Amino acid sequence: MPALLNIVLLIYLLPAVDGTGYIQTKFREFVNINGQRYDGTCCGPAPWLWGSRKKTNCGEPCKHAFVICMGNVTQSSSMSACEYGSKKTESVEGNKITFDDHIGYDENPLKFPFETWPGVVKLKIKINDNSDSEEQLVDRVEYQYNTRDLRREIDAPVHDVTLQGERTRLDVELKVFCAMDFYGPACDLYCKETDDVTGHFRCDPVSGDKICLNGWAGADCLTNIDDCVGHGCALGATCVDGLGYYSCKCPPGRTGHTCQHEVNECSSSPCVNGGRCKDASNGFLCECPPGFAGILCEVELNECRSAPCLNQVID
């Protein structure tokens, strides 16, 4: 097959997905114990209302907004190096926040797709305060994550991570997993269960290897196995190949799954008038009593027809 045709076929077979896998980040709890920004000032009213903002304990809660940047570990800590995506959340008020399935109005967890798993990524999070008209830095945290053992979402392990910054603490869950129908330690093996003209197989849940359905073989499970090889059909029966099974077409007079039984044609008592049935191969014979004849002894004989009596004796 020409190389160009191979490429076209591959594009046709692969589904339209965001990537072969996902890096998932779920926020659990955030604490800014003193309610301070990175420079030590308090969130809240301007200085001319309350005096200096630099206090040990601030009364006003900050309005925290989170900027999440998922980058490659080979890059710096720059928030502009986000090869696998970035997300800025709406602000959430409070100096201690326990997250449910949302971060403000944004869904929690956040998912960042990748096409090729690099083995190592760097999670970078910038926390800002939106109490004033201009955002003010509260803290920065980052975490390096590496693994070479990626799995399906249902089987992927969850890593609990505590990110400790200068002013804050953020507890998150990290999970890296393959997208649906992708397998392998790098999520680079595509397998989608099918049973049609493109193949007849299911996918190994761990490796993603194709496992042919019963009756099929070959790389894409497109070769119908001849189940009649070594069949058990007996006594002149014809083997009929099926998908994962065979059946036996019995010759006249035989029955059973493998035609192993002879049909007893005398079981229906076909002989009449006292005739005795004798089973035969693919048939039967009726032994008729005196005075009867025919295949079933159905004919009563008239012995006088031959005029056997002598000397005018009347039959």
**pLDDT-based confidence at residue 56 (cuts at 50, 70, 90):** low
Is the pLDDT at 311 greater than 80, yes or no? no
The structure's pTM equals 0.67
Residue 259, Cβ neighbours under 10 Å: how many?
Answer: 21
Please state, rounded to an integer, the average pLDDT across all residues of the chain: 85
| The two structure tokens encoding residue 23 | 């890096």
Above 90 in pLDDT, residue 96? Answer: yes
pLDDT in the model for residue 57: 64
Confidence of residue 3 (pLDDT cuts 50, 70, 90): very low
pLDDT band at 191 (very low <50, low <70, confident <90, very high): very high
State the pLDDT confidence band at 314, using cuts at 50, 70 and 90. Answer: low
Region 172-198: what's the mean pLDDT? 93
- Percent of the chain residues past pLDDT 90, beyond the cut: 50
Residue 252 predicted with pLDDT over 60: yes
pLDDT digits 0-9 by tens, 221-250: 999 999 898 888 987 899 999 888 899 999
The domains located in the chain, with CATH, are 14-183 (2.60.40.3510), 191-224 (2.10.25.140), 270-305 (2.10.25.10)
Give 215-250 as a 3 state SS string: CEECCCCCEECCCCCCCCCCCCCEEEECCCCEEEEC
pLDDT of residue 307: 62
Model confidence at 313, pLDDT cuts 50, 70, 90, reads low
How confident is the model at residue 94, as a pLDDT? 94
